[in-house]
Amino acid sequence: MKKRILVPLLAIGILITTASARYKSDFFEIAKQIEIFTTLFKEINMNYVDETNPADLMDTAITAMLADLDPYTNYWNQQEVEQAKIQNFGQYTGIGANVFTQEHKIKLMEVYQDYPADKAGLKPGDEIIQIGDVMLKDFDEDAGELLKGAPNSKVNLKYIRQGKTEQTTLTREAVEIKAVPFYELTSDKIGYIVLSKFNRKASSEVATALKNLKEQGAEKIILDLRGNPGGLLTEAVNVTNIFVPKGEIITTTKSTIEKYNQIYKTQKDPMDTEIPLAVLINGKSASASEIVSGSLQDLDRAVVIGARSFGKGLVQRPKQLSYGTQLKVTISRYYTPSGRCIQALDYWNRDESGNATKTKVEDYNEFTTRNGRKVYDGGGILPDVKLETSEYSAVTNALLQEQIIFNYATEYYYSHADINLNDFVFTDKDFADFKKFLEKADFSYETDTEKQLKKLMQTSKKEGYQEAIAKTQQNMLKEIEAAKQQQIEAKKHEIERLLSDEIIKRYHYEQGLYTYYLSHNPEIKKAKEILNNSSAYRNILN
């Protein structure tokens, strides 16, 4: 292989981009460090004993540099830049599926109804191993790019389903990613709107849903932001503007760079400032979702129901770099109308292990809403009505992260006939079967207690107390392990709910799940209860 020498223009671009007006006094130091890095990079590539790959070295350098900041400041290659555009604009040409890219294979996590993957007979859980003539086991680049192509172009796929290799031909087509995948009027004149992301169509789709629901007779509204990871800040302001008057401050951004200090106000006449409104959030509602729920809470415009939100109070902006690449950099923090910054983690002041520190409850600051209600900063948006059913325990989060719930739903789908959406129940017998599945899956997870215990042992080793407390530590670990096993049964209710959700999607897609929610979901039931009791609704807001 011929050695390639890559001049580190990218690193220079990143560093110069950050060398804004605020750092004029430090420009000599920045230029000095760039020169050192450039010289070092060249010497390594020219003289290292083994052949180097300049692009890989640069990726490592960039990754290490950004790791010292926060997880939202990222370098995007050309493919990732295009993917971000898709997320923001809401339309692309592809297969119509949510995929999880693993080493040398692509796993389908969700298949969208009536889109190419669905039409080709693909199902969640299928693992694609060959795309066209390319065997993914021999492909070291982003295999997801192979699924993209011109509209109406065909591609042959080989995949593994339940241990068997199968194949199909798929025709690519335009896929629209809806910000509002579902809305419907319930029997008690409550309109239910799901907002799943904040792309450029978010506010227009919410407005259309509200208009249609009101024409159908809606007198109250539930806005579901659960699991919404955020998106465009301007769309968060525009969505809030649908329910609050023109000229209201929705969020303020603050930075050490003066030009990023902005006040975002509603710019349009609202659609409805009076209709009773409930907003649902949970621990996966982040960023723009927190701007909407936090501002509506601060302005006493909606009752917020569910669990404490994620706590992402940082604002990012893309910066164009060389060769079609991009830097997504954190430029400021945002604040709700009452003055709260809901950022939960401090990435600058890390602990001894290099982990971001979490704001302690006792360090939360108190603020007041327009009506004088107490609200707090530092840990996401705390709902007005907190429900245990909205929160996930450590064991449940581990089951989700390890894809145990997803994998069990796959097995369930292929071993059970179609289910009736109206009367589906995940039974005790099903849960017993799930626990057997857990044993086969060799599921395990580490609790925070175990992590702290390991740190204690490391400290005791340094101080010479390791042997003295070794037996105690082993006994504690055994007791923790026994308690962890009991957690599966103790958290049965929340695990069953997630299993039910995943199973319903296999048979009736996303639309079926939301339809099921309307009559079975505890958060929606609570929202209906409050909205249908005008006295309770007013008491919460006042």
DSSP secondary structure letter of residue 338: T
In angstroms, rounded to a whole number, what is the distance separating the alpha carbons of residues 120 and 155? 11
Neighbour-count burial of 180, counting CB atoms closer than 10 A to its CB (0-12 exposed, 13-18 middle, 19+ buried)? buried
Does an H or E element contain 34, and which? helix 27-47
DSSP secondary structure letter of residue 231: B
By the 8 A CB rule, do 221 and 282 touch? no
SS3 395: helix
By the 8 A CB rule, do 377 and 364 touch? yes
What is the phi-psi region of residue 227: left when phi exceeds 0, alpha when psi lies from -120 to 50, beta otherwise?
A: left
With tokens 């709700």, the residue in question is 336
Nearest to 60 by CA among 10, 101, 22: 10
In the chain, the amino acid numbered 341 is C
Q: % helix / strand / coil in the chain, to the nearest 5?
A: 45, 20, 35
By the 8 A CB rule, do 510 and 110 touch? yes
CA angle 364/368/370 to nearest 5° reads: 155
By the 8 A CB rule, do 87 and 177 touch? yes
HEC string for 320-365: ECHHHCEEEEEEEEEECCCCCCCCCEEEEEECCCCCEEECCHHHCC
Give, in order, the Cα–Cα distances in Å from 200 to each of 226, 227, 333: 19, 18, 21
Strands (E), 419-474: none
- Give the count of beta carbons closer than 10 Å to the beta carbon of residue 446: 12
CA angle 28/29/33 to nearest 5° reads: 115
Give, in order, the Cα–Cα distances in Å from 431 to each of 113, 393, 428, 436: 28, 17, 5, 9
CA 59 to chain CA centroid, Å, is 24
Q: Which residues are catalytic?
A: 287, 298, 312
